[in-house]
Structure 1
């Protein structure tokens, strides 16, 4: 399909989205352009859900997710969301048809799909409402509709909400990290109360309170609630979690330089010194200008703390999908039971999904010939070619 001219609506409708210079359009024409783009997008969203559902039926959700990441270049998070929405719409064919016909948009479809997954739903009735209501109105309509269909004291709904609880932590394009979470009403009430109290305590203790926005104060309070504990004497202490900090040691000037997190994110010197006050010092020896440990061996199957820290510094997370180190296991390239040593050159970090690829789907662990970084190679991909060796001319 040529994305420069996407046919919208029913075949033969004559509605197209063509590449034009929008600077020459008046406001009315721009509104028409937006409507046509919306129709094209809704149609493509419906087609995408149909293709992904069929791909999943033919193979598996695992393979469908890999195709989304390879063909659409989606992130893991985005691919998971696309899979979830395709699965929902596969069970709501009338909703998917309405999306393709642009009688509803993708947000309407997501609301109905999520509702159908979490409780009883009269699809025809709610679809009729979706065609005339905004997404905000539809959410309330669906909520009231499901409460009416449940016909109990709310126990089933609460149980569904408990099962739907989730939390995720994702890296944004600007280098900031975003925390997303869903809680049932009871858990949310407890969290809200604790967060409000911590925010209020911070406000009362701050002599320059008018210079800090409420959203910043709530973020600071949430960080303290998660990362700090209150000791018996009422003082704050850091949680028993390990934060890996790195810096270069200058032998000449006898000082640390280039402070950074394990993923390479630079830290201001004052922030590095503040964090170091709460830390134990672990010395590691690495090759010059790299994060490759020279040697940090272990006589046991599982790496000790120092070796695990060295792996995190080198790999930065899963070598397959880049998931954070906290979700990774240390995998022996040559298996431990086959004599493989627990040393850096025989260990890599992989998440549980990528670990399955290695053991059950024949994915290979390779070392890039140029960068030296380890990565996972799928079985259908050719092994990397070593750099060409240029012969040294003989000197006479």
Structure 2
């Protein structure tokens, strides 16, 4: 802490000159204006380098050595990353033994979680890195060189596990070096979609099957809400809640949790529709091989099949990009099943048009029989109502709907969607289908 302005006396002959006690001395004004001012307090001398506010009589700690701390932080992080890599090797080797079984644990992961005080995500990272390190020599070398961290290595290993033989370290490592761990994670999701779009879509469907919401009334009458939503459903809820959950002003002292609770009640009573924005390339929308996944706010990237389903829904704004990421289209209204067309569909169809389903029109989405990206028109003849489940089946599930003599006929996919695979040709499109 430097001397106060009133300490800079012109007649001071030495920095160690004795300082007369207050009030025997006055000091000059720093601006040279007006009469001298009495000294208000004595300068603090010989204060330890690290001492508390109270120990030094009211003087705040000196500023820490920022550069030294920064260098040490980087050094420590590299040491920790190296230890993480070593731990991963040992974890993979430990998994091959039966020692954890003899100790009464179901899996090696359970033993490590308990005895190493780790969460499941960290244990899974360790197993993935230990199992696939031999496939990532350049990645581990980049970590030792300080170009990436263990978080990048873990994401790389998880991707290698998920895509199997399609894993290409040469394509992913430059992305790991260029991006933060969080951004690199999203890049790996796009990579997985590019090499295995069907597998990615199936995994997303598993998340849909895991969805659930529990509503329980407590003894005091409060409603307890808990559950799990798939990425698309979760994004729809967050998109609807976020605008309503913002602070109402400078004097809004509600917690974030309270604002979300109020937003949910307001949404339920006011009926404010949510509009989700999906950003995708035209190649993704067409389901072309090697295309990246699509981006959606408040969600992880979604599959091309999910994009095609959402593109039928008037509550979704589509932003289409060219290969060089230039915007070429922003959800033209002529492609939306809304307004008068939506009302006409409700009057004509009355419920979901999947054979045997009678979910009411208010629960349904508008669906293009021939998707507009394939030249289908947005009109009454080419559209029908499908409930959420059957709309997913028509896109993510690979089913196709055709009209035969005015009747809607579902055509089974080449992959199963929770149903046994059809071995004969009975599920092929009937003759005369349009």
Q: Please indicate, yes or no, whether the TM-score normalized by the shorter chain is above 0.5.
A: no
Higher relative contact order (CA 8 A, sep 6+): 2
TM-score tier, shorter chain, comes to 0.3 to 0.5
Using the size of structure 2 for normalisation, the TM-score is: 0.34
Larger Rg computed on CA atoms = 2
Using the size of structure 1 for normalisation, the TM-score is: 0.37
